[in-house]
Amino acid sequence: MSTREIITCRRTGDTCVYVKHKSGLDILIREMPGFSSVYALFGTKYGSINTTFKLAADKEYTEVPNGIAHFLEHKLFENEDCGVFELFARTGAQCNAYTSFDKTCYLFSCTKNYTENLRILLDFVQKPYFTKENVDKEQGIIGQEIRMTNDNPEWRVLFNMLRCMYHNHPVQIDIAGTEESIAQIDADLLYKCYDTFYNLNNMTLSIAGNISAEEVLAICDEMLRPCADKGLETVFPDEPADIVQAEIHEKQPVGASIFQMGYKCAPCKENFFKKEMTATLAMSYISDASSDMYLRLLSEGIINNTFGGEIFAGDGFFSAIFSGESESPEKVRDAVAAEVRRILAEGIDERVFSRIKKALYGSYVRQLNNVTAFASIMINAHMAGCKPFDPVDIVSELTSADALEFIRNELTEDKIVLSVIEKM
């Protein structure tokens, strides 16, 4: 039997519906009457980092080539009859998919025919069709994609940094893999990964907009094929706390030199959203456009308005990254490190912290009334072991002491990596 729970935001009173479907699928639904659009994501907790795994019945772990999750995502858009894009085009919907480091999601957005589009989405993701011919063809297509991303400066500066941060964790490897790794992929491997990770007990449906929860659940009852939980377990190699190297430079034909400087932080094992929100506040306090450090670097021409900070985190990895354009990235790194030392010595200005916290809180509240944003929040939260409204509730309760503790424990100078793509 399916079970249902109403999840309520303590601060705003907004609600969504969580259903543990009898098929094994987790379903999150946000009815938003009066809105014109619908956005749905059907995702599996399976990304590029999940290359070593086993089921409860397996004696040994299986290790598969890098890039196979992304490869599988591409192939699911083909079936025996016609392409999936053609099916959605007939209904007037837009469809897409993405593979990240720790998840793969298939999605559509529409303003009409959402029930028909939901049937298409649930149907094609449950119908893999892999042959030697279509796998061989895809290897050439994805090989070209890999070559294109290798020429992308933004992509290169990120992965250069990750390779300097992580010794063993697969987050350092391109999501699409390498031309050598995808050459090892065949139809049998794709079916093995599909059967392992596309089990409904490892998947989530998130849908928001002008919808009826009862209609959504009726379609799920009709379309979903129940499957037993096979006891999936994924593992990662041991990862030392220290970095590999502190700095890396590469020359590319770019108009302006770009950089990413990141702090390698301890991975989050519990309360993921609390650590992510705390880190976001701490990063904002350091790099906010009204901060003394930002304004000084801007006035000296060391940075421009591309400078900012973000949190990059997932299963087994967590880092705080500052990035932007600069012809003097070492000065940016040194200024950030000096600002961290100043904050630890002088403490956090409560007035400034309060303003930054209110801005972050307001950004999350606004997303509650955005169909696309909230559908994404629901699936991301659920796959992180959290609830959709946790960001609003958590941010409202965080203090400057929480942010200061994160800065003290995580933003240490021995964990800084600087990656630069310089003009040729």
pLDDT at 352 over 80: yes
Tell me: pLDDT of 82 over 70.
no
Q: Is 73 a catalytic residue?
A: yes
Confidence band of 81 (pLDDT split at 50, 70, 90): low
Residues 270, 354 within the same domain = yes
Give the confidence band of 271 by pLDDT, cuts at 50, 70, 90. confident
Q: What CATH number has the domain bearing residue 211?
A: 3.30.830.10
The last residue of a domain, from among 234, 267, 298: 234
**Over 80: is that where the pLDDT of 232 sits?**
yes
Whether residues 157 and 280 share a domain: the answer is no
- At which of 234, 259, 283 does a domain end? 234
Split into its structural domains, the chain has a count of: 2
Q: Is the pLDDT of residue 78 over 90?
A: no
Q: Mean pLDDT throughout 343-363?
A: 95
279 plus 305 within the same structural domain: yes
pLDDT tens-digit map of 243-262 = 999 999 999 999 999 999 99
Question: Is 242 part of a structural domain of the chain?
Answer: no
Q: Is the pLDDT of residue 41 over 80?
A: yes
Mean pLDDT of 308-334: 96
Counting residues of the chain whose pLDDT is more than 70, the rounded percentage is 99
Q: Is pLDDT above 70 for 301?
A: yes
What does the pLDDT look like over 364-421, one tens digit per residue?
999 999 999 999 999 999 999 999 999 899 999 999 999 999 999 999 999 999 999 9
Judge if 210 and 159 occupy the same domain: yes
**Residue 308 above 70 pLDDT?**
yes
Please report the pLDDT score of residue 1 as a whole number. 87
Task: Tell me whether residue 240 is in a domain.
Answer: no
Report whether pLDDT(151) > 90.
Answer: no
- Residue 80 pLDDT: 66
Arithmetic mean of pLDDT, 23-27 = 97
Identify the domain containing residue 166 by its residue range.
Answer: 3-234
Question: What average pLDDT does this structure show over 321-338?
Answer: 97
Q: Which of 31, 60, 63, 73 is catalytic?
A: 73
Co-location of 182 and 320 in the same domain: no
Average pLDDT in the chain: 95
In a shared domain, residues 254 and 223: no
Q: Are residues 209 and 300 in the same domain?
A: no
Domain final position from 234, 265, 281: 234
Looking at residue 217, its amino acid is L
* 20 lies in the same domain as 78: yes
